[in-house]
Amino acid sequence: MFDYRRFALGKIAQVGPRFLPFADVASDTVPLSRLLRLSLFQVTVGMALVLLVGTLNRVMIVELRVPATLVAIMLALPLVFAPFRALIGYKSDTFRSALGLRRAPFIFKGTMLQFGGFAIMPFALLVLSGYDQAADAPRWIGLSAAALAFLLVGAGVHIVQTVGLALATDLVPEEDQPKVVGLMYVMLLVGMIISAFVFGALLENYTPGRLIQVIQGCAVVTILLNGIAIWKQEARDRTRAAAPRTDMPFLQAWGRLSARPGMIRLLAVIALGTAGFGMADVLLEPFGGQVLAMSVAETTRLTVVLASGSLLGFALASVWLQRGAAPVSMALLGAVLGAPAFLLMIVAAGMTATPLLVIATLLAGFGAGLFGHGTLTATMRAAPRDQIGLALGAWGAVQTTAAGLAIALGGVIRDLLLTDTTAASAYAPVFALEAGLLLLALLVAWPLRQAGPIGAAVGLVKPAGTPILSETQVRRAALHKA
């Protein structure tokens, strides 16, 4: 008799693993299509950033009439979690899993937090603004619910970005890392640009119902894109699962990482440079409007110019690094270009020359692109293979904190000076400060140029026993010198 039961079980057993979200075997080569798919998580990160910092910033103040100070505090809440990125990375490095997974579970949890935050955010904001019957509700409900929503989204973004970057670093060989870094940055920018347009179009005629639709739609898109991004990316690893647990405490692991020559210096460079470039992000548009009397459409185009410059920087940095340039020289070049760009902005304000400002903006964006790409690639290269999560967590912690503090500081300095001087002289000190920070970054980064694990060109820091340079790399290096 036909054994239908055995037949069915056999069929299901064949089909089963296809529906599990992790790969069965690690592949040596990762095709570009798969990297593109992985980089979708950066799109959701960009989307969350735009929604929080751009769209909701405005909606809360203008449409929901929440006091601006409260909005600023709420939006700054996720920054509180930024230093924990190092801890998140460490946790994922040492994660104990029967499947031998390290990254996918964290991305799953981070995505859940992001989704959860977006799911309750519109209602929390409506309660906070006292919409309908919520006006009678006690104040603390709206406050704590909104704070919870922003914290959840912030924590989710921190986890997804840190662990996602670590996964990307895990997947590709060292010589392909510049490609991945470029891809990740570009996808972040693409996500931000697209979602800014979409949110703007959707919220043109604001209604509370529309706000709920947009934010919750954002939640669904987040889970979909992140799901597609990590589907079957990480291979399960039975040897890692079976390996005896070596519990290195966080401080010891951090000590090991920071003891690597140049690591602390690199993080300092990242902090200084990110602060220098980041300050302009929010001040460029009001600067164009107040000092050079540009219209809203023109200042928006100024931001587009800045982003285009960055895209150009990422693209060129990818190409140059792929050809064997050292990541640190790339970061140095970015700072060298960025410092005069900000001085040029001051000059442009003095001469009220808009074309000069556009050129300076493009140059600043280009420098920021080179700098960002160079420092992230340097961090990836500098990390030991078993501490990639921790290293990228440290990168994220330093980068996010520096950018956040810089934006806040830039705004405060501008506002303080704006009260008793003309607009032009209120912005000049901020731009001078940015140029100063970049010069400082340049000084700190200078010693890193000497061949060390960080300044070195491709492939010089492989652990003992593996070939130091592959044949193609040797050829590339020879070409580069010639």
Partner 1 sequence: MSNDPNKVWPTGLTLAEAEEVHSYLIDGTRVFGVIALIAHLLVAVTTPWLG
Q: Which residues bind partner 1 (CB under 8 A)?
A: 6, 9-10, 12-13, 16-17, 20, 97-99, 105, 108-109, 112-113, 115-116, 119-120, 123-124, 126-127, 131-134, 137, 141, 145, 148, 236, 241
Buried-exposed string 391-408: b where 16+ CB fall within 10 A, e elsewhere: bbbbbbbbbbbbbbbbbe
Residue whose token pair is 């929440």: 66
Cβ proximity to partner 1: between 103 and 260 the closer is 103
CB of 112 to partner 1, least distance (A): 5
CB of 5 to partner 1, least distance (A): 10
Cβ proximity to partner 1: between 108 and 395 the closer is 108
Cβ proximity to partner 1: between 208 and 436 the closer is 208
Paired with 23 in beta bridges are 235
DSSP run (H or E) holding 388: helix 388-418
Cα dist. 403→67, 195, 282, 294, 354 in Å? Answer: 24, 21, 11, 26, 26
Enter the tokens of residue 147: 């704070």
- Determine contact, residues 162/393, Cβ cutoff 8 Å: yes
CB of 224 to partner 1, least distance (A): 15
CB of 61 to partner 1, least distance (A): 20
Cα–Cα distance for residue pair 127/121, rounded to 1 Å: 10
Cβ proximity to partner 1: between 77 and 270 the closer is 77
CB of 111 to partner 1, least distance (A): 10
Cα dist. 23→20, 35, 100, 112, 231 in Å? Answer: 8, 14, 11, 21, 8
CB of 3 to partner 1, least distance (A): 12
Kindly state the DSSP code that residue 463 receives in the 8-state scheme: P
Rounded to the nearest 10 degrees, how much is the dihedral formed by the CA atoms of 400, 304, 197, 149?
Answer: 10
Sign of the Cα torsion 461, 466, 471, 474 reads positive
Cβ proximity to partner 1: between 126 and 271 the closer is 126
Cβ proximity to partner 1: between 154 and 313 the closer is 154
Cβ proximity to partner 1: between 104 and 428 the closer is 104
Cβ proximity to partner 1: between 132 and 415 the closer is 132
Q: Three-state DSSP class for 451?
A: coil
Tell how far CA 391 is from the center of its chain: 14
Cβ proximity to partner 1: between 20 and 351 the closer is 20
CB of 152 to partner 1, least distance (A): 8
Q: Which of 98, 83, 71 is nearest to 395 (CA)?
A: 83
- Determine contact, residues 146/70, Cβ cutoff 8 Å: no
Question: What is the number of other CB atoms lying within 10 angstroms of the CB of residue 281?
Answer: 16
Cβ proximity to partner 1: between 84 and 131 the closer is 131
Tell how far CA 317 is from the center of its chain: 17
CB of 119 to partner 1, least distance (A): 5
Sign of the Cα torsion 188, 192, 195, 197 reads negative
Cβ proximity to partner 1: between 119 and 430 the closer is 119
Buried-exposed string 201-218: b where 16+ CB fall within 10 A, e elsewhere: ebbeeeebeebeebbbeb
Cα–Cα distance for residue pair 303/282, rounded to 1 Å: 9
- Determine contact, residues 79/154, Cβ cutoff 8 Å: yes
CB of 87 to partner 1, least distance (A): 19
CB of 202 to partner 1, least distance (A): 21
CB of 98 to partner 1, least distance (A): 4
